[in-house]
Structure 1
Amino acid sequence: MTEEKIKSIVKRYRRISVAWLGVFLGLSLCANWFLIHSKIERHAELGLEYILGDQGFIWGTVILGLNTVLGLFFYSLEKILLGLYKED
């Protein structure tokens, strides 16, 4: 296996993983929106006042954190594989 082949394999799996992470986070955001919306409706049905909590900062932090961890994982994996290749 060549160095370029290792880099292309890692790049391909990085793209696939980022896509799956994006799908998972998108579904999580939709579920979060649905749950908050239904909670607001239930409070309105009962005549209770709903106090809105700001969730944007939390989701932004989660998305940024997971993408950073995924990026660091693939960076480390590529360096490890290239190091093993150069030893042989």
Structure 2
Amino acid sequence: MTEENIKKIVKRYKLLSSFWLFVFLIIVLLANWALIDSNIRNHSELGLDYHSSQDGFIWGAIIVGLNVVLQLFFYSLEKILLFLQQESSSSN
């Protein structure tokens, strides 16, 4: 397996994983939106004031954190595979 093949495979899986992470986060954000909407409706039916929890920063931190972890994982995986490939080619 050549260095280019390793980079190509890692890039393909990185894109695929990033896509599924994005889809998962969209689903979670839609669920969060539905829960907040339901909470607002319930408060208005009871005649209570609704106070927002301002969770935008939390969602931003979660999204950035998961993306950073995913990118670091694939960066490390690529470097490890390239190192192993170089070791095996130098021993031959």
Q: 2 CA distance for matches of 1:26 and 1:60?
A: 12
> Superposed, which structure 2 residues align to 1:10-49 within 5 Å?
10-49=10-49
Moved over 6 A (4+): none
Equivalent residue for 1:64? Answer: 64
Q: How big is the shift at 1:53? A: 1.2
TM-score (norm 2): 0.94
CA distance in 2: counterparts of 1:52 and 1:26, whole angstroms: 21
Deviation at 1:44, TM superposition (A): 0.4
Count of aligned residue pairs for this structure pair: 88
With normalisation by structure 1, the TM-score equals 0.98
Could you tell me which runs of 5 or more consecutive residues in structure 2 were left unpaired when the two chains were aligned. Answer: none
Deviation of 1:56 after TM superposition, in Å, equals 0.8
Cα distance in 2 between the residues matched to 1:9 and 1:52: 44
CA distance in 1, matches of 2:23, 2:5: 27
Matched, 1:6 2:30: no
Structure 2 counterpart of 1:45, one-letter code? E
Letter in 2 for 1:35: L
RMSD: 0.5
Identity %: 62
- Counterparts of 2:38 and 2:70, CA distance in 1: 32
CA distance in 1 between partners of 2:64 and 2:52 (Å): 23
